[in-house]
Structure 1
Amino acid sequence: MSNDNLYTKTLPKLFMILVAYSVFFTFLICMHNLREWAKPRRQTVRAERHLLDLTPLNKDNRFRSKFDGHWIFLLETSGRGMLDSRHVCSLEALAKANPNVTIFLVMPCPVRVINLEDNVALARLLDSCESVQLATLDAKKILKDLPLENISQTEILQSNTYKQRTSDLLRLALIWTFGGTYMDLDVITLRNLSPLLQTENFLAAESSSSINSFVMKFRKGHPLVMKLMERVRESYQPVDNSTAPWAFSSAVANTFNISVQEAIARGNVSDVQIFNSSVFSPVKYGDFEDVFDDSKSILADKIISGSFGLHFWSKMAKRFQIKPNSTAPFSIIAKQFCPKTFEILASG
């Protein structure tokens, strides 16, 4: 048989085979696309989270009509719309121990939306915790007509610690305007706070001779809060780190005509309870490094058994790295009370 005849008979067969394969694969592709089209469409999860604006709720008891029970405010005033993992640890511990309390994480304007892709630890917490509300507010409007208004618009801008000072002012304005509890983001809650929250008004001591502003609770419009704002205004110095702790001690002494040491020793003045330092500040300012010392692990049991919270002095503690196998009191406590966040915190 000649080559020409061979090609003449073979080529049509090859062509038919190729056509058959083409039709077959085209059919498979069409069926795959049809199945994909028929699948239910998954909604795209938005990484952005809009914050609840508290500003319009400051009139006519709108806030109380919207939220009942107990609530706790925490402030993040960096303006970045982000939360440090150590602070998320505090938030997790607070929410875990107090599931029936509404917790407001307040990030003042201009923050109105945050990107959860940039807040991995916070995003993980929000996925499993419905009691945490992300909120914002207009600081100028909340401070309007209060003793702190002029400071917030003029002198505070001269401070090297502008963000901390903003927090100092807004915590008082929040408690005056809405009532409720305020807590710093560097306080890890160690147990349910119900026994304390039953008290209408309280302050917390950081030592036997000093009352600090890191935890407090007052009913809306309490006169001592107005006195506190007045003392902060009178004593404000932009070069200082913070005037709030001194102002708190001074306001109590002047309002009730008693030394702050005696007020703390008594445990209450008028209708205000004063919790001693063991409640929220079991480790004093001068010893805060012990909390991050691997050789001080025994301190963790003492703190957990005897306190409602641990104030860990975040500003000074930034230089201490958290390691997965650390035996430092902070790490032991974080593993137990904010386990989800600790995984991220210890991973660096």
Structure 2
Amino acid sequence: MWSWNRKWLFTALIFLFFATCSLLFASLISKGNCPEIKDEAQEEYLAVSDLTPFLDNPLDFDQLFGKKFVFFLESSGRGQLDARDVCSIEAATSLNPKVNFILIFSNEVQKINSTRNPALKKLLSKARNLILATVKNIEVVKGTPLEATSTNKFLETKFPVEHLSDFLRLGLLWKLGGVYMDLDLLTFRNIDEILSLKNFLAADTKDKINSCMMGFQRNHPFLKSIMDMVNKSYNPQVYSTVPRSLNLATVDTFGMKVEEAINKGRVKDVHFLNYTVISPITYENYFTLYDEMKGVLTEFMFKNSFGVHLWHSLGSKIKLKRTSTAAYAVVARKLCPRSFEIAGESFFNVII
């Protein structure tokens, strides 16, 4: 009787073993047909901090990140930066080693895949002053003068990525202070002199302010005036509606034309940077950055400016040879060699 039970048990175990093997084999076959699909546990992700808890605790933020910091924003929701964007970050972090640069992804992005971000991964291994972070969009504007507009009129926007970035940069400066920079702003030198101004806006022509770089102490009254003007004049159908509000707020608050404020350089405690400081190539002349006949601009820009606004919205699809003598190519090879090398030929052939 005992012998029969042992045989039965042994047979059952053999059957279970082969059934399990068959299921595993079938599973492996199905995965083999789709090699691009990976188990999430096998994916590699870059370390990301959540800034949301600090929005209402700015003193805790200061203790962790210091008083000298710059925000970059990525609001597309892709969780991926192209080499041109990383180039700007590489230049800024290497030229300003004592400044913390915080690259913020809007809250649609919770994980940053390292495989899809080779240039960013490489930079993180070298730049000790670069922090990746995410933040909840709604919490950035909650309790600010922009809350109503950003949760109502914003829903009608034709430019969700750009306008979200506009609202987030103002909300972050209101709650945490500091400096904001666009990802298509390439710096040439240390920017301590600009950071020391505390409250500033930057022009991109002789009579117009742009939002590509700005700095404010938290809860600054002129920043509130700007946000109030956004509430009043925001047009969800217009691409540059928020930068336009900066100009309107300058006129309304200080009772003078924008050009006059720029020429003065400082009105009360707010500084207005001349366009040559970070926008030596204006919007209307952006193509000169890619024109090999205008390579002489490189020396001019390095000598007279802290950086250049690259106008990626206009020039991102322009193709250049890696050995090009165009100003942008010369500057990129010099200031972001790691990003330039990792990107290969795609650096000047980016498809967005």
Q: TM class by shorter-chain length?
A: 0.7 to 0.9
1:189 aligned onto 2:187:
yes
Q: Distance in 2 between matches of 1:92 and 1:143?
A: 29
After superposition, give the CA deviation of every residue in 1:108-149 in whole Å (9 maximum; x if it has no partner).
102121101001111111111111100111110111122222
SS state of the match for residue 75, structure 1?
Answer: strand
Task: Return 264-273 or 60-69, whichever deviates more.
Answer: 60-69
> Which of these residues, 40, 45, 50, is aligned with residue 53 of structure 1?
50
The aligned runs of 1:147-158 (5 Å cut-off) are 147-158=145-156
User: Are the equivalent residues in 1 in contact too, given 2:188–2:307 (CA < 8 A)?
Assistant: yes
The alignment-based identity, stated in percent, is 37
Other-structure match for 1:214: 212
SS state of the match for residue 211, structure 2?
Answer: strand
Q: What's the offset of the Cα at 1:69?
A: 3.4
Other-structure match for 1:144: 142
User: Are the equivalent residues in 2 in contact too, given 1:322–1:346 (CA < 8 A)?
Assistant: no
Other-structure match for 1:110: 108
Q: What's the offset of the Cα at 1:196?
A: 1.4
> Which of these residues, 251, 254, 268, is aligned with residue 253 of structure 1?
251
CA RMSD of aligned residues (A): 1.5
SS state of the match for residue 321, structure 2?
Answer: coil
SS state of the match for residue 199, structure 1?
Answer: coil
> Which of these residues, 240, 243, 246, is aligned with residue 241 of structure 2?
243
Q: What's the offset of the Cα at 1:107?
A: 0.2
SS state of the match for residue 115, structure 2?
Answer: helix
After superposition, give the CA deviation of every residue in 1:48-69 in whole Å (9 maximum; x if it has no partner).
1242111101224221122213
SS state of the match for residue 75, structure 2?
Answer: coil
State the AA in 1 paired with 2:52.
Answer: T
After superposition, give the CA deviation of every residue in 1:282-302 in whole Å (9 maximum; x if it has no partner).
001100000011111101111
Task: Return 277-286 or 228-237, whichever deviates more.
Answer: 228-237
Q: What's the offset of the Cα at 1:46?
A: 6.5
Task: Return 134-143 or 151-160, whichever deviates more.
Answer: 151-160
Q: What's the offset of the Cα at 1:45?
A: 9.7
Q: Distance in 1 between matches of 2:310 and 2:344?
A: 17
Q: Distance in 1 between matches of 2:320 and 2:87?
A: 12
Q: Distance in 1 between matches of 2:93 and 2:47?
A: 20
Other-structure match for 1:67: 65
Query: Which structure 2 residue ranges, 5 or more long, are not aligned?
Result: 1-40, 347-352
Other-structure match for 2:117: 119
Other-structure match for 1:20: none
Q: Distance in 1 between matches of 2:325 and 2:82?
A: 22
Query: Which structure 1 residue ranges, 5 or more long, are not aligned?
Result: 1-43
Q: Distance in 2 between matches of 1:69 and 1:223?
A: 20
Larger Rg, first or second structure (1 or 2): 1
Q: Distance in 1 between matches of 2:234 and 2:339?
A: 36
User: Are the equivalent residues in 1 in contact too, given 2:107–2:137 (CA < 8 A)?
Assistant: yes
After superposition, give the CA deviation of every residue in 1:37-95 in whole Å (9 maximum; x if it has no partner).
xxxxxxx9972124211110122422112221310001000001001211100000100
SS state of the match for residue 118, structure 1?
Answer: coil
TM-score by length of 2: 0.84
User: Are the equivalent residues in 2 in contact too, given 1:50–1:112 (CA < 8 A)?
Assistant: no
User: Are the equivalent residues in 2 in contact too, given 1:121–1:341 (CA < 8 A)?
Assistant: yes
Q: Distance in 2 between matches of 1:152 and 1:119?
A: 30
1:271 aligned onto 2:288:
no
Q: What's the offset of the Cα at 1:239?
A: 1.1
The aligned runs of 1:1-348 (5 Å cut-off) are 47-60=44-57, 61-348=59-346
User: Are the equivalent residues in 1 in contact too, given 2:46–2:121 (CA < 8 A)?
Assistant: no
Q: Distance in 1 between matches of 2:110 and 2:99?
A: 23
SS state of the match for residue 185, structure 1?
Answer: coil
